Amino acid sequence: MENNAKTELPEKIPTHIAIIMDGNGRWALSRGLPRLAGHRAGTENLRRVIEACIEFGIRYLTIYAFSTENWGRPEEEVQGLMQILEDVINRELQELHDQGVQLHHIGRLDRLSPALREKVLHAIEYTKNNDRLILNVAFNYGGRDEIVCAIQRIIRDGIPAEAVTDELVSGYLFTAGVPDPDLIIRTSGELRGSNFLIWQGAYCEWYFTPTYWPDFDREQLLLALQEFSHRERRYGRISPVEDNIAQHAR
């Protein structure tokens, strides 16, 4: 693999990266192209970023491909995104499998056409024994919808109120069994969470870049990883250095 990167891979890398792949529309607009051309360019880029994640040893990648709110976009764009998902499975499944990628879906499959639903389920089954990179595709996904779904299932399962814990709720989410993301990246300069992994992202680090998603390349990912490696994650506590000073002052 060609390696033109100027930025080095840091020692401390996240186990789980999640990405809000934003800016496809503006990328297309700035080139006088239709929005769907931006989504297609974004899909090409996704392939490159998956390869980079494998190269860097990242274990989990979650991508926001279609939100529960995206149904409100023009019909042509909604259908175009459905088509892209189908094309990705048709064209890329074997290569993803050969690279050791295990595909997962998070969100609801029920509004997808039966044919597309079948394709997604087939891709999940086909790749289920791979473990190099776990790729969670958030498609018809919303963080609030996920929590509502979890609450409904907890109640249906007759779980008593006292038994409802952090861990139990996590186990009822679409991401059950997947560690929380360490780093969420949002491209295109927007500074919002947009209903993405709102439970799982409670203590994640956020990285925002003005780069539109189709241009977010390997080097840009390395910059995000570099920045992550310098962040101190305190999970609501104080830093170990400060803690040490405080203890000695007692």
User: Which residues are annotated as catalytic?
Assistant: 22, 70
CA atoms 139, 143, 145, 148: torsion sign: positive
DSSP helix/strand/coil, 228: helix
Residues 14, 16, 25, 101: which binds ligand FPP (CB under 6 A)? Answer: 25
Residues 10, 13, 34, 70: which binds ligand FPP (CB under 6 A)? Answer: 70
Closest approach of Cβ 21 to ligand FPP, in Å? 4
Residues 14, 18, 36, 43: which binds ligand FPP (CB under 6 A)? Answer: 43
SS (HEC) of 68-86? HHHHHCCHHHHHHHHHHHH
Radius of gyration of the chain (CA): 19
CA atoms 193, 198, 202, 205: torsion sign: negative
Task: Considering only residues 90 through 149, tell me which ones interact with ligand FPP, judged by CB under 6 A.
Answer: 137, 139
Task: Considering only residues 194 through 233, tell me which ones interact with ligand FPP, judged by CB under 6 A.
Answer: 213
Closest approach of Cβ 32 to ligand FPP, in Å? 14
Which residues, including other chains, have CB under 8 Å from residue 26's CB and lie 6 or more apart? Answer: 38, 188, 212
Strands 60-67, 16-20: parallel, antiparallel or unpaired by DSSP? Answer: parallel
Residue owning tokens 């360019």:
41
Closest approach of Cβ 205 to ligand FPP, in Å? 21
The smaller minimum CB distance to ligand FPP, of residues 21 and 154, is found at 21
Binding status of residue 61 toward ligand FPP by CB under 6 A: no
Per-residue contact track with ligand FPP, 169 to 198, x per CB under 6 A? -------------------x----------
- Residue closest to ligand FPP, measured at CB: 25
* Residue 18 in tokens: 């999640």
Q: Which of 184, 187, 212, 210 lies closest to 197 in space, CA to CA?
A: 184
Residues 18, 19, 23, 220: which binds ligand FPP (CB under 6 A)? Answer: 23
- Residues 125, 119: Cα–Cα separation, whole Å: 10
Binding status of residue 24 toward ligand FPP by CB under 6 A: yes
Rounded to 5 degrees, φ, ψ at 67 are: -95, 165
Q: Which of 228, 219, 18, 222 lies closest to 136 in space, CA to CA?
A: 18
Binding part of the chain for ligand FPP, among 18-26, 150-158, 161-169, 219-227 by CB under 6 A, reads: 18-26
Binding status of residue 47 toward ligand FPP by CB under 6 A: no
* Residue 130 in tokens: 């791979």
Residues 19, 53, 58, 85: which binds ligand FPP (CB under 6 A)? Answer: 85
Binding region for ligand FPP (CB under 6 A): 21-26, 39, 42-43, 46, 65, 70, 84-85, 88, 137, 139, 188, 213
